[in-house]
Amino acid sequence: MKFFVDTANIDDIKELNDYGLLDGVTTNPSLIAKSGRDFKEVIAEICKVVAGPVSAEVAAMDFDGMVAEGEHLAKIADNVVIKLPLTLDGLKACRHFTAKGIKTNVTLCFAANQALLAAKAGATYISPFVGRLDDLNIDGMELIHEIRTIFDNYGFKTEILAASIRSANHVKEAAIAGADVATIPPGVIKGLADHALTDKGLDQFAKDWAATGQSIL
């Protein structure tokens, strides 16, 4: 499963990229607002740091507006992916960009039938929001399983990008469900390396090593 980081914070992106943990980046209007940065400037900067796909979301709600904005954003860098909402206009815009060879990420997916429409529109990625379904006491991960089954039934090439991932358990469950990608907040990615028994074992090794009085170098 590929790891995208779900943030527009350039310091977090650089840090995770240096660890070799990043396959791509996703942003959304809320994350851009949180960064306090100019949208196009920060996307250009992220694209220089990360070689993989970087999702940049349109703000327009209508087809013509989405096409105009998406074409503008696509010129920022070759690895920009145009993020479009799962609406009829968004799906039409997805078909437009796919025909032009521009990658798309169809976002705000909460139902398997919506994912089916995105796949039929030729989306590169579909983003089902796991955490926001869980917030409503609906099993978000079940949606990933359903989409995986549907896409495999028909050989759709659209990649399942598990979004609204909030915990290490979400990451594990998305991988078990066969998501192609998970987009994950920076803190959750770093937390995946944590285990109390790893810390305890390291403490013991450090004490025992010190007691030997040896040095490797």
Task: Using the Cα atoms of residue 93, residue 57, residue 129 and residue 194 in order, give the sign of their dihedral.
Answer: positive
Q: Please, what is the minimum distance in Å from the beta carbon of residue 104 to ligand G3P? A: 15
Q: Please, what is the minimum distance in Å from the beta carbon of residue 153 to ligand G3P? A: 26
Tell me which of 14, 83, 92, 157 is the catalytic residue.
83
Tokens of 2: 């590929």
| Nearest residue (CB) to ligand G3P, 47 versus 188 | 188
Buried (b) or exposed (e) across 16-54, using 16+ Cβ within 10 A? bbeeebbbbbbbbeebbeeeebebeebbebbbeebebbb
Task: Using the Cα atoms of residue 22, residue 26, residue 30 and residue 31 in order, give the sign of their dihedral.
Answer: positive
| Nearest residue (CB) to ligand G3P, 104 versus 183 | 183
| Nearest residue (CB) to ligand G3P, 86 versus 153 | 86
HEC assignment per residue over 5-52? EECCCHHHHHHHHHCCCCCEEECCHHHHHHHCCCHHHHHHHHHHHCCC
Cβ proximity of 194 and 15 under 8 Å = no
Q: Please, what is the minimum distance in Å from the beta carbon of residue 124 to ligand G3P? A: 16
| Nearest residue (CB) to ligand G3P, 40 versus 166 | 166
Q: Is 83 annotated in the active site?
A: yes
Q: Please, what is the minimum distance in Å from the beta carbon of residue 16 to ligand G3P? A: 15
Q: Please, what is the minimum distance in Å from the beta carbon of residue 217 to ligand G3P? A: 44
Helices (H), the chain: 10-18, 29-35, 39-49, 63-74, 88-99, 112-120, 130-134, 140-154, 168-177, 186-191, 196-212
| Nearest residue (CB) to ligand G3P, 107 versus 112 | 107
Burial of 216 (C-beta count, 10 Å sphere; 0-12/13-18/19+): exposed
Contacts with ligand G3P by CB under 6 A lie at 6, 26, 28, 129, 131-132, 163-164, 166, 183
Residues carrying an active site annotation: 83
